[in-house]
Amino acid sequence: MKFVDEFRDTQKAQTLTKAIHAIACRLASSQTKPLQIMEFCGGHTHTIFRYGIEQMLPDSIEMVHGPGCPVCVLPMGRVDDCVTLAELPNVIFTTFGDAMRVPGSKKSLLQAKADGADIRMTYSPMDALSLARANPSKEVIFFGLGFETTMPSTALTVLQAEREGITNFSLFCNHITTVPTIKAVLDSPDMKLDGFLAPGHVAMVIGERPFDFIAKDYHKPIVVTGFEPLDILHSLWMLLQQIEQGRSEVENQYSRIVQANGNTAALEAISQVFEIREFFEWRGLGSIDHSGVRMKQAYTNFDAEKKFAVPNLKIADPKSCQCGEVVKGVIKPWDCKIFGTKCNPENPMGALMVSSEGACAAYFNNGYNEQKTA
């Protein structure tokens, strides 16, 4: 398939894997622990597992699967808020598919749907707007979540709704921001990471420059990375070269998509509709300053938080969860006390077991649950 197979070429993969092994081998003599490289984005985690990339890497490189899976980091309280909104009379609640299964403190959206709430899976916020047009007597709420990747399409939908004068559409805004979150990981006292693969589609929107501080202030190399398996290997090779040469820079492997200054039109739409929240709650990571956005005053009419009584519940993560430590690479998923036992994909307790892009679910599904007992 054109534009797909080129990025999955086995020969090229072998060449890159050899080059990675060669550098890793040269670096190994000076290492006291494996090099820990974090892929921030859940999309990268998905590719790494889907193509079995971890087994292609030398033992001296350890991938740490970061917090960039928006479904995983959704706190229980927010899911409860969604359920409350969805169960309001006369409401059609719309959401991306993989948010359906995230457990709240009482139920998931999938269970709320079974209980009778009108919840529809959509592929784009524009689908939600179409539903609003087609059902003028109903309130259509779109559950907006995701990092800067999905923010522009939500913003543009709100702007479109405003242009058309649609009054029965609103957004329950749970969009989150990448940079403050990476900063929170970097500022954590037990942080041991040696480099980052930066999220390619976030960078497509915000550009390369917002990642500069990682290289300049924290002296960690970082490579903006695409989502095909060769992209991952290529970026790892670039990252290892930086480490070997003692450089810490922002490099762009995903130059076919990402421009240094990002996408101006997308950024304009975002800043027109959204503003930074003081803080946002994350499942597994707690509250992080400036890590979420809300709708600006001018769009109150489209803001579900203003239009409806959202309880804004705070539900603490289960005490036994060690998601925070897994996300920072302090422990591996199977080192968590409840991994594969109390916490499994059927009954996820922690954030990282929730979506298939979460590190724990990915490990569990790939049979690592047996490592614990092995």
**DSSP secondary structure of 65-86:** EEEE-TTTT--HHHHHHHHHHH
Q: Using the rule CB under 8 A, is 203 a contact of other proteins?
A: no
* Residue from 62, 98, 194, 317 in contact with other proteins (CB under 8 A): 98
Q: Using the rule CB under 8 A, is 96 a contact of other proteins?
A: yes
* Residue from 27, 28, 36, 54 in contact with other proteins (CB under 8 A): 54
Stretch that binds other proteins, among 155-163, 239-247, 291-299, 350-358 (CB under 8 A): 350-358
Contact 197, 143 (CB under 8 A): no
Stretch that binds other proteins, among 46-54, 83-91, 183-191, 265-273 (CB under 8 A): 46-54
Give the residue from 275, 36, 287 showing the smallest Cα distance to 180.
Answer: 287
Token representation of residue 5: 């197979």
* Residue from 29, 32, 55, 297 in contact with other proteins (CB under 8 A): 55
Q: Using CA of residue 327, residue 328, residue 332, residue 338, what is the dihedral sign?
A: negative
Q: Using the rule CB under 8 A, is 318 a contact of other proteins?
A: no
Neighbours of 154 (CB within 10 A): 27
SS3 240: helix
Q: Using the rule CB under 8 A, is 132 a contact of other proteins?
A: no
Cα separation of 215 and 72, whole Å? 27
Of the pair 58, 345, the CB lying nearest other proteins is at 345
Q: Using the rule CB under 8 A, is 70 a contact of other proteins?
A: yes
Q: Using the rule CB under 8 A, is 346 a contact of other proteins?
A: yes
Q: Using the rule CB under 8 A, is 149 a contact of other proteins?
A: yes
Q: Using the rule CB under 8 A, is 248 a contact of other proteins?
A: no
Cα separation of 266 and 101, whole Å? 29
Q: Using the rule CB under 8 A, is 370 a contact of other proteins?
A: yes
Cα separation of 75 and 105, whole Å? 9
Q: Using the rule CB under 8 A, is 345 a contact of other proteins?
A: yes
Q: CA dist 335 to 100, 316, 331, 358, 369, Å?
A: 28, 22, 6, 16, 10
Binding site for other proteins (CB under 8 A): 1, 4, 8, 10, 13-14, 17, 43, 46, 49-56, 70-71, 96-101, 110, 121, 123, 127, 145-147, 149-150, 201, 229, 345-346, 355-357, 365-367, 370
